Amino acid sequence: MLVDNAAWFDYTNYSTTAALFRRPIRLLSLLGGIAIFYILVIFVPKAPETLYGFKYVKSSYDWSALPQAHPVAELTPLPTGTPRSIPQVQYDFAAHYRPNSTRLDVLAERRQAVKDACRKSWDSYKKYAWMKDELKPVSGGSKTTLAGWAATLVDSLDTLWIMDMKDDFYEATAAAVTIDWETNETSFNTFETTIRHLGGLLAAYDLSKERALLQKAIELGDMLYAGFDTPNRMPVFWMDFNQAKRGKLQPNVHDPTSSVTSSGPEFTRLAQLTGDSKYYDAIDRVARFLQRTQNTTKVPGLWPTFLDMEFGDLTLENDFTLGALADSTYEYLAKMHVIVGGLEPMYETMYRQAMATVIDNLLFRPMLPEQDDILFTGDLSVDAATGEKTLPGDSQHLACFAGGLFGLGGKIFGIQEHVDIGGRIAKGCAWAYDAMPTGVMPELFSLFPCTSLDGCAWDEDKWELKGNATLARGFQNVDDARYLLRPEAIESIFVMYRITGDEQYQETAWRMFQSIRNATETDLAFSSISAVTTAGGTAKIDSMESFWTAETLKYFYLVFAPPDLISLDQYVLNTEAHPLLRPTGATGS
């Protein structure tokens, strides 16, 4: 503390000063004043500073200044050179698509209906849950579910921009750049924070070029980077603040696969925008780990649902899926190939090996009376003793993203079979929507799998013996009847529309949107529901996760939008639907 000596200790008049210290009341007042000063300096939040036109609040802790307990001797830099030519992903709408005015009016009306749903949701969030993680869409309260860092606000920034809600975008941006990445929580989920917050900030920057957003993303990126500071540089899933600051983080032996391998696009884009290779080095080490272990598992080509990140032994796990806990690991292989400009060949190699194994082991065509040519992805178990594989016909809403995964990968790597499979998966999920009384797909369900992707004859006796007579013919059961406002089915419908130009996908999307709106709308917004199997309405769960506005409504809007809005040849969408710019010139441009 800097003080004026003459104000309190006059060496030329010691008697005056001594008299001061002989008076206890004055002494206590002096000490109290000093204490108040320190409280104001240390504990009161910092006043905003003006940064790039916004009132900006720096985080309380500077993670960029934290020394690495396990430093990297030599950072792996971003791949250099001119990006390789990557095949066009989107259908050539300019050359082949000429919608008439009536069709354009229909699409405009549908976009407006989606935007109205977003406007209703956003206005209620602003009124009842501003700067909180989630709105309670039934009661009007709020939830803290992701460390209290305004998840819905940050996650929705690019949606506001894309839907031309610019006033709301700038209001939300002004709020976002005041977030302090310190929290009352002792730890946080690094995966969700990466895909929602970091992805949201980077996409909002790529769209708007507002540099305050990039600065806030750098703060967050430095905090997330600390999660890689372990003895073997493998990341943690839950980052304990105290352990991270003491350099005591340890990788775990049983982490969900996607949670510790899905920072690639976000960290790569941050490295491109900042020129700091530490972010790329962090995720490159994880990718090398995936490359080394891909063929060491009980199903060579696939990674199990859980990973041992401490010792790297993946031979003991028996479960494999494209669904929850593993999804974005596979989703990001083709997307990483694109965002590094095709300059790192391991991503294509891993994609081809993984998807070939998925086709042979995880996909199934259901037994249906109408012989619909559709596919689903299942959950595979391997018997620990015999090695026998079992695919019982279980599937899940979350796994519907696989239609887009195959569609994009097929276009990027020139594999038409994958494009066709992507369409069959997307149409399978649309079938599951139509099959429910509400017109909405459940969280978890089971079907009768054929032994071949070419299909099988309908077996009435099997259906009557094991099927659920309260459901559409073909279902064994619905194991979780909820709908959580999920985006994965419309994600694949959107991707398949953009890469094929087939208007039937738009018609499917409109039918899905109307069903979702009818089943989930509340007075305030839209809510998760407890049972899609109940005709005429079902109980609301009073939950509206941030992906409702960040993903679900965004995909519905884009499927009806002009195809040059967020073109798949210009952007890579992360697993939370945040569009990150693809490199077009030298890497890092």
Q: Using N-to-C axis directions, what is the helix angle for 199-208 and 264-274, rounded to 10°?
A: 50
Q: Judge whether 183 is annotated as a binding position.
A: no
Characterize 281-301 residue by residue with b for buried, 16 or more Cβ atoms within 10 angstroms of its Cβ, and e for exposed.
bbbbbbbebbeebbeebbbeb
CB 413 within 8 A of CB 334: yes
In the numeric block, which tokens belong to residue 557? 């809007």
Element (H, E) at 192: helix 190-192
Identified catalytic residue from 488, 491, 551, 576: 488
Nearest in space to 547 (alpha carbons), one of 494, 487, 481, 483:
487
In the numeric block, which tokens belong to residue 30? 């002096």
Instruction: Establish whether 488 is a catalytic residue.
Output: yes
The side-by-side arrangement of strands in the sheet containing 475-480 is 394-396, 444-447, 475-480
In the numeric block, which tokens belong to residue 315? 């031979």
CB 361 within 8 A of CB 320: yes
The whole-angstrom separation of Cα 549 and Cα 542 is 16
Instruction: Establish whether 327 is a catalytic residue.
Output: yes
For 293, residues 6+ apart whose C-beta sits below 8 A from its C-beta are: 303, 312, 314
Instruction: Establish whether 576 is a catalytic residue.
Output: no
Question: Sign of the C-alpha dihedral, residues 518, 519, 524, 527?
Answer: negative
Identified catalytic residue from 192, 373, 521, 542: 192
How many helices (H) and strands (E) would you count in the chain? 24, 18
For the chain, how are helix, strand and coil distributed in percent, rounded to 5? 50, 10, 45
Identified catalytic residue from 327, 331, 394, 551: 327
Identified catalytic residue from 443, 545, 551, 576: 443
**Cα 290 → chain centroid:** 20
Nearest in space to 434 (alpha carbons), one of 479, 370, 379, 496:
370
Residue type at position 331:
E
Binding residues for Ca(2+): 575
Binding residues: 575
Question: Where in the sequence numbering do the catalytic residues fall?
Answer: 192, 327, 443, 488
